[in-house]
Chains A and B, each alone.
Chain A
Amino acid sequence: MSQVIEIVKKGFDGQVDFYERRAGLWQLIFPVFHEDGDMIDIFVSSSPTKNGWVRIKDMGLTLMRLSYVFEVNTPTKERILETLLVQNGVMEDEGEFYLDSPPDMVLPKCDAICRLSAKGLQYEAMAKGYYQVFVL
């Protein structure tokens, strides 16, 4: 996995760093922030389904953060979330947003997760009827 991380760092042209938060779980350290000043939470690990690929994921922290003020707890809200996932090509597993990528394609895939994470936090407004405003 360390070799894969080096490939990914090279792909980012030295603009990011990775820190091993848990054994086999690397956190992306990069200058993309939530409105409250916290960095957006992105992690990478080996893909459990595709040999040699990387899984990019948020460890469920986007939905945890969203739940501070808003719960995805009705069929309508779940449908909006599903639409956001499809639009960004992101999968969901028990609240964790993720997607798998070959090591040299991590940059654009991280971008998709970041957009979803940032957009997910505008979700409250979307679910209240302003959905079209935020759909790219």
Chain B
Amino acid sequence: MLNQDEINNLISCPKLVENSEPSKGMNIEKRSQRKNLELKAAQGKHLFRVFIRQSTELLEDFSIGLTYRSGDKETGSLTLIRFNGNHGEADWSKDGHYSSFHIHRITEDLLEQGIREPKETEITTRYSTLEEALAEFFNEISLENWLGYFPELRQLPLMVTVEGQK
């Protein structure tokens, strides 16, 4: 089982996009826009997958996640971190995350409890659109060559970086 340091290192280790499906833009399928990226650690053999989803009707409802593909039977594939949009303006969650832009993370404590869903949540003001969330997410997971796959975001990282330094 992964410990917290290993989880943190897997999220932050430098990564490269190996493949993108579709290569440009997003597929529209079953009422959501979808894109998947296959990633490889810049050093070492770790493999990852990024999924990007956005509801076609509720645009604020989006999700960007990093899944670790361990290749190990016990660990399997595990979603380490997910940047979410908001799911409406009212909710019943204790911390109010459901109606806010929020980030889900897996933790060592969750894995020890047998929970494999990234249940630890944090409300964030780091982004307010899918495009801003993508730039923040790619920085968070140290993805090195993402601009080549998202040329439409070329102007965005500067804005996000400036915001992040405030």
Q: Interface segment, A5-13, A26-34, A112-120?
A: A26-34
> Does the CB pair A60–B88 fall under 8 Å?
no
B interface list, Cβ under 8 A from A: 29-32, 34, 51, 53, 55-58, 61, 63, 65, 67, 77, 79, 82, 84, 87-93, 97-98, 104, 115, 117-119, 121
Report the minimal beta-carbon distance from A28 to chain B, rounded to whole angstroms: 10
Q: How far is the CA of A36 from the CA of B81 in the complex (A)?
A: 11
Residues of chain A lying within 8 A (CB to CB) of residue B61: 61, 64
> Does the CB pair B79–A38 fall under 8 Å?
no
Q: How far is the CA of A39 from the CA of B100 in the complex (A)?
A: 12
Q: Is A104 an interface residue (CB 8 A)?
A: no
- How many residues of chain A get a CB closer than 8 Å to chain B's CBs? 28
Q: How far is the CA of A56 from the CA of B117 in the complex (A)?
A: 27
**Option from B31, B82, B121 in Cβ contact (under 8 Å) with A94:** B31
Q: How far is the CA of A37 from the CA of B99 in the complex (A)?
A: 12
> Does the CB pair A31–B92 fall under 8 Å?
yes
Report the minimal beta-carbon distance from A121 to chain B, rounded to whole angstroms: 9
Question: Looking across the interface, which residue of chain A has its beta carbon closest to that of B121?
Answer: A37
Report the minimal beta-carbon distance from B44 to chain A, rounded to whole angstroms: 23
Q: How far is the CA of A96 from the CA of B98 in the complex (A)?
A: 21
**Option from A27, A34, A67, A96 in Cβ contact (under 8 Å) with B51:** A67
